[in-house]
Homo-oligomer: A and B are copies of this chain.
């Protein structure tokens, strides 16, 4: 199975920013695919049809997946349990199921518990998104050039992993593999903790301090403008790793305060300089649509 060419029919469950953008990218880069879309809001389904993100619309997840050899869960992760239970009896033998959730342990566990043995589940996390959401903001190039983390477990059929990687690569994504456990640790540090901190930075402000905000603050807190229902699910799902991240962040800040208290200018500069060196070495911008 080469670069996802084995798929003919796909089902996109949830036609928001991610589901819609995947559909539009398929139309651009994998035009042979027939795409069924499920959504619970009629107006979103209609817009997804109008924009060409899906070829067929249904309000019934089971009907969406019936003929699909690739099923992509694009709803918030908090809905995965009900969704998997609903589609399980309707899945075609040999079908591959993936998702685009920002946490990977819980979805993988649910798939093991709820999906039939005649399908393969391979978790995916396209590292895109940002503060915008909804089908209206979906774009054919949202995924282009971004990283997709694929999270197989020991029991996953290697052919299914290759097929899923090929699918994302066909949509011009870069891919990398890691376990769901490692994924959830790394994304807690690089994505979920930064989001929590950005929200906390906004929460401590007063109208007076917000009035003198400049670009530094706006950049540092941009992610805090994201969908709170989506991030609620992510935080609840990954709370153990998030908590560990908060503890380490607090230790770093305590170290800074101790150096400030001691009036040790060299030690303060060393603390700041180590961060500046690492951050300066990273490319300073990705394309403006890229985010987690």
Contacts and interface: CB of A to CB of B under 8 A. Distances in A.
A190 B219 contact: no
Copy number in the complex reads 2
11 contacts: A146-B214, A186-B209, A194-B220, A194-B221, A198-B275, A203-B274, A218-B284, A219-B219, A220-B221, A221-B279, A243-B261
A168 interface: no
A195 B210 contact: no
Nearest to A273: B228
A246 B252 CA distance: 11
Consensus secondary structure, chain A interface: helix
Interface in A236-292: 236, 239, 242-243, 245-246, 248-250, 252-253, 256-257, 260-261, 263, 265, 268-269, 271-276, 278-280, 282-292
A120 to B, nearest CB: 24
Interface residues of A, number: 93
Given A194-B201, A275-B224, A269 B229 contact: yes
A31 interface: no
A37 B184 CA distance: 54
Contacts of A246: 253, 256-257
A93 B140 CA distance: 66
Contacts of A195: 216
Interface in A193-238: 193-206, 208-229, 231-232, 235-236
A220 B220 contact: yes
Interface of A: 78, 127-128, 130-131, 146-147, 149, 176, 182, 186-187, 189-191, 193-206, 208-229, 231-232, 235-236, 239, 242-243, 245-246, 248-250, 252-253, 256-257, 260-261, 263, 265, 268-269, 271-276, 278-280, 282-292
Contacts of A221: 194, 220, 275, 279
Contact of A203 (B200, B206, B228, B252): B252
Given A202-B275, A203-B252, A272-B232, A194 B216 contact: yes
A235 B256 contact: yes
Interface centre among A242, A261, A276, A289 (most CB of B within 10 A): A276
Interface centre among A189, A195, A211, A226 (most CB of B within 10 A): A189
B212 A176 contact: yes
A121 to B, nearest CB: 21
Contacts of A220: 194, 197-198, 219-223
